[in-house]
Chains A and B, each alone.
Chain A
Amino acid sequence: MRKTIKAAALLGVAALTLAACSSGSGGSTSSPSAGGGSTAPSPTETGPVTLTMHWWGDQEAPGAKKWLDAAITAYQTAHPNITIKETLETTDGLIPNFEAAAAAKTPLDIQYFWGGIYAQQPYWKGNTAAISDLLPADELAHYTNAKMEDSYQGKIVSAPWYVNPSFPVLVNKDLLSKNGLTVPMTWADFLKTCDTLSAKGIPTIAGGVKDGWFGGWLYSILGAQSVTSQKQVLDAVVGNAKFTDPALGDWWMRLEESQKHKCWNADINSQELYQAQQMFVDQKAAMTVTAGPDAPNFAKKAGGPDKIEVMAMPAWSNGPLAGKIASSSQTLGIPSWSEHKAEAADFIKFLHTPEQLQAWYDMTGSLPADDRFNLSQVTDPIKKSLFAGGTDNVPYMENFIPAQLDSDAVFKNVQLVLKGTETGAAAAADMQAQMERLRTTDRELVTNFTNWASGQ
Chain B
Amino acid sequence: MTDASVTTARGPVPSGSRHTSRRPGPWHAAVWIAPAAFVIVFVFAYAIYQLVVQSFKYQGKWTGWDNFRIVLTDPLFLTALKHNMELLLCVPVLIAIALLLAIVLSETVRGHSFFRGVLFFPYILPVTVVGVVLGQLLTLNGPVNTALNGLGLGKLAADWLGDPNIALWTMGAVIVWKEVGFGIVLFLARILSLPTETYEAAALDGAGFWRKHWSITLPQMTGVIAFYAVTEAIVMVSWVFNYVYIMTNGQGGPGDSTVVTELYIYRSAFQDQQIELAAAAAVILFLITLFLVIIFFRLQRKSLLAVVGE
Q: Which residues of A contact B (CB under 8 A)?
A: 1, 3-4, 6-8, 10-12, 14-19, 21-23, 25-30, 92, 95-96, 99-100, 103, 121, 125, 209-212, 266-272, 403-404, 407-408, 411-413, 415-416, 419, 421-422, 437, 440-443
Contact = CB atoms under 8 A, between A and B. Distances in A.
A270 to B, nearest CB: 4
B199 interface: no
Contacts of A121: 273
Contacts of A421: 163-165, 254-255
Contacts of A10: 238-239, 241, 262
B98 interface: no
Interface string B135-149: 000111110000000
B260 to A, nearest CB: 13
Interface string B67-110: 00010001010000000000000000000000000000000000
Given A18-B282, A419-B163, 17 more contacts: A3-B182, A6-B239, A16-B43, A18-B265, A18-B279, A19-B46, A22-B276, A95-B270, A99-B271, A125-B273, A210-B162, A268-B162, A269-B253, A412-B256, A415-B254, A416-B164, A421-B165
B174 interface: no
B202 interface: no
Given A92-B249, A419-B164, A7 B289 contact: yes
A16 B164 CA distance: 33
A442 B274 contact: yes
B59 interface: yes
Contact of B58 (A29, A96, A416, A443): A443
Interface of B (DSSP majority class):
helix
A416 B266 CA distance: 22
A4 B273 contact: no
A16 B48 CA distance: 7
B159 A92 contact: no
B275 A419 contact: no
Contact of A407 (B165, B254, B271, B274): B271
A270 B139 CA distance: 5
Contacts of A3: 182, 231-232, 234-235, 239
Nearest to B247: A210
Given A19-B46, A441-B70, A271 B139 contact: yes
B48 A15 contact: yes
Nearest to A16: B47
Contacts of A270: 138-140, 142, 159-162
> What's the dominant secondary structure at chain A's contact region?
helix
A17 B269 contact: yes
B50 A11 contact: no
B115 interface: no
Nearest to B44: A12
Residue of B46, B47, B241, B293 with most partner-chain A CB within 10 A? B47
Contact of A15 (B50, B274, B293): B50
B130 interface: no
Contacts of A442: 272, 274
B60 interface: yes
A1 B138 CA distance: 32
Given A26-B59, A269-B162, A8 B254 contact: no
A4 B231 contact: yes
B59 A25 contact: yes
Contacts of B276: 22, 25
- Ranked nearest first, the 3 interchain pairs of A and B with the lowest CB-CB distance are A269-B162, A19-B50, A267-B140
18 contacts: A3-B239, A6-B239, A7-B234, A11-B282, A11-B286, A18-B54, A21-B278, A22-B50, A22-B276, A210-B162, A266-B141, A266-B159, A269-B161, A269-B253, A270-B140, A404-B272, A419-B163, A443-B58
A18 B51 contact: yes
A437 B51 contact: no
Nearest to B75: A437
A108 B133 CA distance: 35
A245 to B, nearest CB: 23
Nearest to B252: A412
B71 to A, nearest CB: 9
B54 A26 contact: yes
Contact of A19 (B51, B60, B271): B51
A115 to B, nearest CB: 18
Contacts of B165: 421
Contacts of A27: 60
Contacts of A22: 50-51, 53-54, 57, 275-276, 279
Contacts of B190: none
Nearest to A27: B60
B255 A422 contact: yes
Contact of A403 (B47, B271, B278): B271
B296 A4 contact: yes
Nearest to B60: A26
Interface in B216-246: 231-232, 234-235, 238-239, 241
Contacts of A14: 262, 265, 282
Contacts of B59: 25-26, 28-30
A442 B74 CA distance: 13
Contacts of A99: 269-271, 273
Contacts of A30: 59
A96 B265 CA distance: 12
Contacts of A269: 140, 159, 161-163, 253-254
B267 interface: yes
A179 to B, nearest CB: 21
Given A12-B47, A416-B255, A441 B74 contact: yes
Nearest to A419: B254
Nearest to B278: A18
